[in-house]
Amino acid sequence: MQTPAILRLNRSATRSVRWLRQLWAGPWTRLAFYCLLSLAACWSWLDRADQVNQFRDAQVLQTYERIAVRSVVEHFELPLWNPYYCGGMYALGTPQSRFATPFFAVSLVLGALRAQPVIAFLLLVLGMEGFFRYSRLRCGSAVGSAMAAPLFALSGFYAVAYFNGWLNFFGFLLIPWVLWGFYRALRGQLRGVVWTGIWLATIIGFGGTYAGPIGVLLMGIEVARFFVERPLNTSSARCVVTYLALTFGVVTALCAFRLWPVFETLYASPRIMAGTPSLSLGSLSGMMFTTAAPTASTAGRAGYFFLGVLPLVLALPGLRGKRAVVLLVGVVFSLWTATGYTTFGPFVWLRALPIYETFRNPERFLFVTGFFVVQLSAQGIDRLICASRKYIAGRWLVLAAVGLVLSTYGLQLVNYHRTGRAMTMAAPPRAVAGPFKQARGNRWVLIQFEPMERGSLSCFEAYPVVMSAELRGDLPREAYLVPSDGGQVTPVHWSPNRLEFRVTAHAPVSLIINQNWHQGWGSTSGRPISYLGLLAVELPEGNHHVSLRFRPKSALGGVLISLTALAVLGFLVATRRRIGGSGLLSVGNILVSSIVASAIAGGIAAIAIDEAPVPPPILRNANRAPALVDQLPDGVRSRAVTLNNSIQLIGARAEVNRENNDIVDVELYLRIKRTVPRSTVLLVELIGPAGQIVRSDHQVLAASLFFDEVPATRIVRDAFSVYLNGDRRGEWQLRVGLADGVKGGGRRVFSAGATGAPPTNVTELLTFDVGTGQRK
Amino acid sequence: MTINQKLGYGGMAVIVGCLLVLIGRAWTVSSVDDSPGTKLTEAQQRAIGQALARREPAFRRDAERRFPGDVWSQDDHFHNLEQRWARRVAAKHGVPLIEVLRAIDEDLRTNKRTDPLRRATAAPCKPRPFYD
């Protein structure tokens, strides 16, 4: 028997649940709620929207955006070349720059600094709505997906990303949109294919160096989900294969504007990522379940992907059925991946694949874990909504779930606020007018140089930017002639993509510009050449007006391909809508037409645009010595040490550094005859007169090549130096050996282990004497 | 007007309000300029430029020991030491950091360098392949 009070409570619970369902049914109320939450998340960033983030990565990424804005606003040029960093770099080919999306319009209107929180807000709202739409595809009611969506978008990942200035990481928020489109594409919907391409292109255009590849991985999981959820038969498999091929073609065409420049850049200067990053489950749970504790200089690991414990509680009711099993498997696999090399698992396997081989931080796979956990939470709320239709208790459980969700929003917003407040910000430097000049610069305070019209030669990027060693930061003029008495040069025009000079040459001369050469530069006086890596034009005797323009084939061709694909798709889809879709306007024909048209456009661009071929990578040691040689240089002692069946050490040199006798310079010359595992590690030990051991093991030879990349016909010169601390006088022995860097649970294998005893698989190579010379 | 329509219009109004607040705040926010507006005198500029010139060989030697045989890492470490020094000097003189960096740039352009450890060049970018 229920008392009137209980009855009243139950009635109000029923009303509340009904109201809840009504509230989430309409798109505008949902979007309004997402806007309010996103505004609250961005508030601490908005407070200092006019200030500069002082974190080192932020300085570089902000500078990219500022230069892109200036190229358009001040020079009316596309942001293709950035002369302000590293001596000049291909802006569109820089993987982390984020201006190649519609969000750039916000930067153009508000300026690069003030646009940042606005773009973050837009992406947060988009992320919530995208998650809602994707999750809704598999949920019976809108409430679960709608309420769970902010849990995904308000995770600590984005708070930390903003702290570090990694606004390009907000591209992760668009992944649900990619999957939403792909879900439809797998079910034979034309619009699904197009949306997949558009959202993936947006992610890549926004500098999605991690979001793009992880999004593609999740597309693979989406294919697996498709087959789990549907009975597998020949016709569905054929349909999926067809649509996969079409999606691949359309995605490639729509992303070409960015992929072509980026792949070209990374071909010429590949990113090398070695090491065996490992994370325990304990540290991963700290990232997910504790709020951030940032300091002025770092966001720290705690709260790196703060989601909170409550979404796990919400997920419990959702753990039923095939869909839940797939999500649970996803959670386990992504967690396993996030542990990196702790065990021989998915991260190690991924590192064997192209593109994924450059992944550095396994903890970023917590994004996938969180994504699956929040989907489970949505399913859990959904189940409670179903139960509420039948049982009074179910209604109370729904209200409890709402309480949990709101509490989690609160915690996540506190986390945002805390990281936002901890950011080290400063007023932007005041601009100083003057002509552009290269300076020695300093990448740690990069944001200071562009306002004083100085480029910074000091450079750091995630890949080895192709730079001339001849760039100078002290020249009175940024262009000069070689020979210097060959005439006069007068600058006429300067803008990032266009340089003009008047040259009076008394004899044949080279006009040298204090910027890096790139094959995308063209000139009115013949094709520019690389003069020791600098941009140069050879000129005969006489008066010349030399105009140089940066119009790289990869940018023009890539944009042409993407625009052609978009135009053909748009035209055919509009026509199909008007006259109906069959025959020539069938879905397949439309997609094939757009792919073929864009391929033709790309082919025309490749043939029609005259440009020097992309130079192969220049492989150098960390001390700048060439990595590959054809024979042993003079002075190197010939050896014939067989390290294993495939690797022979044919020469070695170890010398005390001439300028600093604490340092020993070592050169090892290796010939690799057969394929060797990539995980092979060269063990190097220097054993001192007192038995002290200095190790210098490495997996990357000559700071440029893994063992499996060394060509069999060449000799690799592996040059490195070792600092000998303490008392170093006397005879030292150099010993080398091999180990497997991934064997045995991914740990670097040393026979020495913790005991300090020398490895057993090490060959004694040579001895050298460290004298008692004066320290310089 | 049905309840759904009312909710819809209410939602639209909230969205427009949020966008107005967002853009208005981003457009108009003007936080206190905490960097002093003062400039270095020419004499101070010269003194700072020369002070770094004296420190640079020591910074470079420190970088050589820390990253033996790795010219880019040495250069990068030097720049880290340089920026820390520049921040300290800026704070000491009560001027914006850009003033100190201009002084260093000016000194590199105007004064002849005799010590090979003082350079106006930069090692080409070659990030280390290991971070863990």
Contact flag A35-B18 (C-beta cutoff 8 Å)? yes
- Give Dmax (Cα) for chain B: 84
The answer to whether the Cβ–Cβ distance between B26 and A275 falls below 8 Å is no
Chain A, 683 to 702: residues with Cβ < 8 Å from chain B are 698-700
Q: State the DSSP code for A543.
A: E
Residue A36 in contact with residue A406, Cβ under 8 Å?
A: no
Indicate the pLDDT class of residue A175, thresholds 50, 70 and 90: very high
**Alpha carbon of A531: minimum distance to chain B alpha carbons (Å):** 15
Of B15, B27, B69, Cβ closest to residue A622: B69
Residues of A in contact with B132 (CB under 8 A): 275-278
Q: Given an 8 Å threshold on Cβ–Cβ distance, is B69 in contact with A720?
A: yes
Token pair in block for residue A459: 């450079």
Instruction: Identify the residue with better confidence: A663 or A3.
Output: A663
Q: State what percent of residues in chain A have pLDDT above 70.
A: 94
Going across the sheet that includes A542-550, the strands are A487-495, A498-505, A542-550, A521-523
Residues A472/A451, Cβ–Cβ less than 8 Å? no
Residues A381, A383, A385: CA angle, nearest 5 degrees: 70
| Cβ pair B113, A464 in contact under 8 A | no
Q: Which chain A residues are Cβ-neighbours of B86 within 8 angstroms?
A: 442, 445
Q: Is the pLDDT of residue A516 over 90?
A: yes
**3-class DSSP state of B115:** coil
Q: Which of B7, B34, B96 sits opposite A23 (nearest CB)?
A: B7
3-state SS, residue A738: strand
A620 chain-B contacts, CB cut-off 8 A: 126
User: What is the average per-residue pLDDT within A183-211?
Assistant: 93
Query: What pLDDT is stored for residue A738 in this prediction?
Result: 86
Asked if A416 contacts B24 with a C-beta cutoff of 8 angstroms, the reply is no
- Mutation to test the A interface, candidates B6, B16, B18, most A Cβ within 10 Å: B18
A425: chain B residues, CB-CB within 8 Å:
31
Chain A positions in Cβ-Cβ contact with residue B88 (cut-off 8 Å): none
Average pLDDT, chain A: 89
For A295, other C-beta atoms within 10 Å of its C-beta total 9
Flag if B15 and A30 touch (Cβ within 8 Å). Answer: no
| pLDDT surpasses 80 at A219 | yes
**Average pLDDT for residues A458-462, to the nearest whole number?**
95
> What pLDDT does residue A2 have?
60
Distances from the Cα of B96 to the Cα of A3, A113, A285, angstroms: 72, 19, 42
- Using a CB-CB distance cutoff of 8 angstroms, which residues of chain A are in contact with residue B96? 427, 429-430
Which pLDDT score is estimated for A80? 97
Amino acid identity of A152? F
Which chain B residue has the Cα nearest residue A46?
B26
Q: Are A464 and B125 in contact (CB < 8 Å)?
A: yes
Structural domain includes residue A250: no
User: How far is the C-alpha of A612 from the C-alpha of A602, rounded, in Å?
Assistant: 17
**Considering A425, A443, A472, which residue would you say is the last residue of a domain?**
A425
Residue A330 lies in a domain: yes
- A362's enclosing H/E stretch is none
What is the distance between the alpha carbons of residues A150 and A377, in angstroms, rounded to a whole number? Answer: 12
Quick check: A327 and A424 in contact, CB under 8 A? no
Q: Which residues pair with A732 in a beta bridge?
A: A768
The reply to whether residue B131 touches residue A469, judged by beta carbons under 8 angstroms, is: no
d(CA A242, CA A83): 45
Is residue A534 included in any domain, yes or no? no
Question: Could you tell me the CATH number of the domain that includes residue A726?
Answer: 2.60.40.10
Helix axes B3-28, A4-25, angle to 10 degrees: 60
Residue B117 corresponds to which tokens in the numbers above? 């450890």
Distance (Å) from the alpha carbon of B46 to chain A's nearest alpha carbon: 16
pLDDT at B35: 52
Least CB-CB distance to A723: which of B65, B83, B120? B65
Q: Do A473 and B64 touch (CB under 8 A)?
A: no
What is the chain B residue with the closest CA to A620?
Answer: B126
Of the CA atoms within 13 Å of residue A578, those in its CB half-sphere come to 6
Q: Closest residue of B to A443, CA-based?
A: B79
- Give yes or no for A48 touching B (CB within 8 A): yes
CA distances (Å), origin A390, targets A8, A385, A401? 18, 9, 17
In a domain, A261, yes or no: no
Residue A650, chain B, CB below 8 Å: the answer is no
Residue A615 lies in a domain: no
The last residue of a domain, from among A425, A455, A480: A425
pLDDT tens per residue, range A11-37: 877 787 787 887 787 899 999 999 999
Output the tens digit of pLDDT for each of chain B's 132 residues: 787 788 889 999 999 999 999 999 999 988 655 555 688 899 999 999 999 999 999 999 999 999 999 999 999 999 999 999 999 999 999 999 999 999 999 999 998 777 788 889 999 999 988 765
Q: Give strand pairing partners of A767.
A: A733
Domain residue limits at A731? 628-770
ipTM value > 0.90 = yes
Picking from A371, A404, A425, the residue at the C-terminal end of a domain is: A425
pLDDT at A662 over 70: yes
Q: In A, which residues are within 8 Å of B71 by CB distance?
A: 622-624
Residue A506 is assigned to a structural domain of this protein: no
pLDDT in tens, A427-437: 888 888 899 99
Residue B68: closest C-alpha in chain A: A721
Task: Show residues of chain B in contact with A720, CB under 8 Å.
Answer: 69
Whether A768 contacts A664, CB under 8 Å: yes
Q: Three-state SS for A72?
A: helix
pLDDT at site A582: 59
- Examine the pLDDT at A57 and tell me if it is beyond 90: yes
Position A147 pLDDT exceeds 90: yes
- E strand map for A435-533: 437-439, 454-456, 479-482, 487-495, 498-505, 509-516, 521-523, 529-531
Residues 448-507 of chain A whose Cβ lies under 8 A from any Cβ of chain B:
448-449, 451-452, 454, 457-474, 476
B18 contacts A39? CB cut-off 8 A: yes
Give the span between the Cα atoms of B127 and A405, in whole angstroms: 43
Domain count, chain A: 2
Provide φ and ψ at A628, rounded to 5°.
-120, 135
**Residue A771 in this model has a pLDDT that exceeds 70:** no
| Separation of alpha carbons A531 and B126, rounded Å | 20
3-state secondary structure of A592: helix
Is a pLDDT exceeding 60 seen at residue A217?
yes
The single-letter code of the amino acid at A492 is V
Distance CA A179, CA A311 (A): 22
Say if the Cβ atoms of B101 and A458 lie within 8 Å. no
Indicate yes or no: CB of A474 within 8 angstroms of CB of B109.
yes
Cross-strand pairs, A758: none
pLDDT in tens, A748-770: 343 333 333 344 445 566 776 66
Q: How far apart are CA A718 and CA A705, in angstroms?
A: 10
**Res A775: pLDDT:** 34
Q: In chain A, which residues have their Cβ closer than 8 Å to the Cβ of B7? A: 22-23, 26, 28-29
- By mean pLDDT, which of A56-70, A617-631, A685-699, A731-745 is the weakest? A731-745
Average pLDDT over residues A624-637: 92
Per-residue model confidence as pLDDT tens digits over A275-287: 888 899 999 999 9
- Give yes or no for B105 touching A (CB within 8 A): yes
> Would you tell me how many other CB atoms lie within 10 Å of the CB of residue A437?
19
Is A34:A128 a contact under the CB 8 Å cutoff? yes
Which H/E stretch holds residue A648? strand A647-656
What is the CB-side half-sphere exposure of residue B124 using CA atoms within 13 A?
25
Please report which confidence band the pLDDT of residue A724 belongs to, taking 50, 70 and 90 as the band edges. Answer: confident
